[in-house]
Amino acid sequence: MQTNYLLNIVGPTAIGKTTLAIELAQKFDAEIISADSRQFFKEMRIGTAVPSEEELQAAKHHFIQHISIADRYNVGDFESDAIQKLEKLFQSSDFAIMVGGSGLYTKSVLQGLDYFPEVPPEIRENLNFNFKKEGLIPLQEKLKKMDPEYYKIADIENPQRIIRALEVSIASGKSYSSYLNQPRKQRNFNPISIGISAEREMIYQRINRRVDLMMEEGLLQEAESLYPKRTLNALNTVGYKELFCFLDGEISLEAAVDEIKKNTRRFAKRQLTWFRKDPEIHWFDFKTPVEKIEEFIKSKILI
C-alpha cells in the first residue's frame, strides 16, 4: 500500500493556487512542484505570475524559472524530471504538492503521457510553413473541423499544441482526442486532487486585476526586453504577444492590455473545461478556509 501522497492543486489562472499550495506545504511539511509550463522560463517573470521571493521562501519550490526561453523543453521532459524529483522528495516526506493550471502537464505526472503515432517530418514542416505564412486562425479552423472534441479543451492560442494535434490527426487518420485518456501508468504515490474555483464574474475580476498589477510591476518593460526574441515559441503566449503587437505599432497600449485580459479570460475558461472533465478532482470555492481543505485531505489519507 502506497503511503506517499501527491496533493495536486488545480484551477483557473489568478484563482489563488499558489497561496493555497504554500499554506498546505507548511501544514504537511511538503515541497512544491510547479506544473505551470509558462513559469519554467527564467526570462518570463512578471507576465507568468511567478511566485514572489517571499512566497518562494515560504515553501521550497521546484521547476520555477529553471530553463531558458531558448531551450527545447516539452511535457515529456517535464514528466520525466518531475517523477525523478518526486522520488527524491518522498524519501524525506510522505507528502509533496503539485500546483499549476497546465492540464496536460499535471496529467503527465499523475497518469503518464498518452502514446501517439510517429509523424512524418514533412507533415510537421508543412503545418509550420502554413502557420508562418497564414497565421494561427486557419490552423484553428482546421482543428475545429478535424477534431471538435479536442478543440473544446485545447489551448487554441498555442500554435505548438494546435500543430501537434493536427499532425497526429493527419498522420494517423484518427482524431488527436482518440489517443487521449489511455490507461494510466503506475506511480509510487496516491494523488489527491483539489480544484479551486469561483463564479465566472469573480474569476474575470481577479484576472483583470492581476493584469493591471502586472502592468504596474513592469510587464511592458519585460516585454520590451524580450522583443528581439519574440519569434521563440515560449514567447508566443498571452501577456507577451499582445504587447509585441503594441511594440510593432499595430495596436495601442490600451488595446493591448484589453487583449491580454480577454485572452487570459479565454484561457481560464479552457482550463476549467479541461479540469471539470476529471471526476477525481474535488472542488472548493476559492474562499474556503485552508483548515477545511486540510480536513478533507486528512480524510483521504489511508491509515
Reported as a single tens digit per residue, the pLDDT across 15-28 is 999 999 999 999 99
**Domain spans of the chain, in order of start:** 5-114+182-300, 121-179
- Determine the 3-state secondary structure of 196 from DSSP: strand
In the prediction, which pLDDT does 225 show? 98
For residue 3, what pLDDT is reported?
A: 85
E strands of 128-273, at which residues? 190-197
Please report which helix (H) or strand (E) contains residue 99, including its range. Answer: strand 95-99
- Mark the ranges of the chain whose per-residue pLDDT is less than 50: none
CB 99 within 8 A of CB 39: no
Q: What pLDDT shows up at residue 303? A: 54
Q: Is it true that 5-114+182-300 and 121-179 share their CATH fold?
A: no
Residue 127: the pLDDT is 95
**CATH, range 5-114+182-300:** 3.40.50.300
**What is residue 116's predicted lDDT score, i.e. its pLDDT?**
84
Which strands form 95-99's sheet, in the order they lie side by side? 61-62, 32-34, 95-99, 5-10, 190-197, 281-285
Residue 195: name the closest of 294, 87, 284, 98 by CA.
284
Q: The whole model's pTM is what? A: 0.83
pLDDT at residue 114, rounded to an integer: 79
Q: What is the pLDDT of residue 27?
A: 97
What integer pLDDT is reported at residue 233 of this predicted model?
87
Asked: is 121-179 a CATH 3.30.70.1520 domain? The reply is: no
CB atoms within 10 A of CB 7: 25
Q: How many residues does the chain have?
A: 303
**Which pLDDT does position 157 carry in this prediction?**
86
pLDDT at 2 (0 to 100): 61
